[in-house]
Chains A and B, each alone.
Chain A
Amino acid sequence: MHELGITRNIVAIVGEAANGRPVSRVTLEIGKLSGVMGEAIAFCFDVVAAGTALEGARLEILEINGRARCEACAAEFDTQTLFTPCPCGSRRLVRLRGEEMLIKSMQFKEAA
């Protein structure tokens, strides 16, 4: 359950940036090949956010599909796993997308 630690990191980073202002929404980009489950972060989020500027904030997770470029034939292709080879057979791949673990943005609550 590394998602708990990851959620703590999210709340810490956003909380620091918010500097005490209440946050209404946090948007993440989580790659499908990142090794992190969005569901598990969502599960931890409310508990970890309690008592911080993020309490009650909505968590939005954008899942990013895997995409790779083949070093042998330069083809680019979508991939769902870390072990799918290029259609040409090569496994020497440059991962272009799908491993994101990023906090894209936060939104403040409207000033009361």
Chain B
Amino acid sequence: MCGHCGCGDKAGTTVLNLQTGKESAMERDHHHHDHGHDHDHAHGHAHDHDGDHHHHHDDHDHHDHDHGHDGGEVIALEARILVKNEALAARNRAWFKGREILALNLVSSPGAGKTALLERTIGDLKGRMALFVIEGDQATANDGERIRAAGAPAVQVNTGAGCHLEADMVARGLKELKPGPSSVVMIENVGNLVCPAMFDLGERAKVVILSVTEGDDKPLKYPHMFRAAQIMILNKTDLLPYVDFDVARAIANARQVNPDITVLQLSARTGEGLEAWYDWLAAQAAAVRDGVFA
């Protein structure tokens, strides 16, 4: 068990199928640990960095990195760091496309109302749209249970120490969930406006939910997420009379980082504004079926 990164078995990712009650641990890559290896501390950490890992290069022509410090062979890699996740996300995307499934990645801070919006959506669209949900949380099956109770098949992925879902977790979730052709798969990411922006899951679009009890400057504080999203939902609009949230300013801030972002205002609690969300979902589902990129 590694105390530094929480990568041990107990903190590992688990997948719970809410339909069958079956829980399984995910075998994920742990390249960095070889707990059985023979640590030879005799070499006494030979790295010669002078406490400064950072070399600031303000021009961009530094392609000759052989500064001659150690003289060993230099191999050019030019490898994208997230290449594995990108490849798995592409596989998920092809899997969705082949089945004409609309997959959406729901992201927000904790407590913005992702699960509440899904509960309401599942209830309202019963009979109109086949919804399946992959629930991501660090721990507990609470949200998965809520989705099940609302009437949709759900799989709970617990990431343990992880702060976001990755494409392999979604692939594993899909294997349990078995969504049918032309259905909608909602992937509720871990509540976090930072890391999920970076990890493609194979979704058609990221849906970022901002509740009016948060700051209207969040699009500027977390620009990566608002830029990565295709649509921003302003939730809890029923609370607008009681908070200082400025809707126009929030939208202007979002458009500063993403001029093309679609904005919807709704209250998952009262139902106000939900028809526009359902129309958006229907249009996306139709575009998937037509194979047209909206």
Contacts and interface: CB of A to CB of B under 8 A. Distances in A.
Contacts of B60: 64-65, 97
Interface string B145-186: 000000000000000001110100000000000000000000
A39 to B, nearest CB: 7
A9 B57 contact: no
Contact of A82 (B45, B195, B227): B227
A51 B34 contact: yes
B223 A81 contact: yes
Interface string A33-64: 00110110010110111111000111111111
Interface residues of A, number: 60
Interface string B1-45: 000110000000000000000000000010111110101000101
Interface in B118-164: 162-164
Nearest to A50: B32
A23 to B, nearest CB: 8
Counting contact residues on chain B (CB < 8 A from A), the size range is 35 or more
Given A35-B198, A60-B65, A61-B54, A105 B75 contact: yes
Contacts of B197: 35
A14 B80 CA distance: 11
B71 to A, nearest CB: 5
Interface string B191-207: 00011011100000000
A5 B53 CA distance: 19
A92 B49 CA distance: 41
B33 A82 contact: no
B168 to A, nearest CB: 12
B269 interface: no
Nearest to A1: B163
A51 B33 contact: yes
A27 B37 CA distance: 26
Given A11-B32, A105-B65, A60 B194 contact: no
Given A2-B163, A101-B82, A60 B73 contact: no
Interface string B45-73: 11111000111111010100110011111
Which one of A8, A15, A36, A92 has the greatest number of beta carbons of chain B within 10 Å?
A8
Contacts of A5: 162, 166
A6 B86 CA distance: 13
A38 B223 contact: no
Contacts of A103: 77-81
Contact of B53 (A36, A59, A104): A59
Interface stretch (B231-239, B254-262, B285-293): B254-262
B5 A56 contact: no
B198 A13 contact: no
The 4 closest A-B pairs by CB, nearest first: A42-B53, A2-B195, A12-B31, A82-B223
Interface of A: 1-2, 4-6, 8-17, 24-25, 27-28, 35-36, 38-39, 42, 44-45, 47-52, 56-65, 81-83, 85, 91-92, 97, 101-111
8 contacts: A8-B5, A9-B83, A15-B31, A25-B72, A51-B34, A58-B69, A91-B259, A101-B80
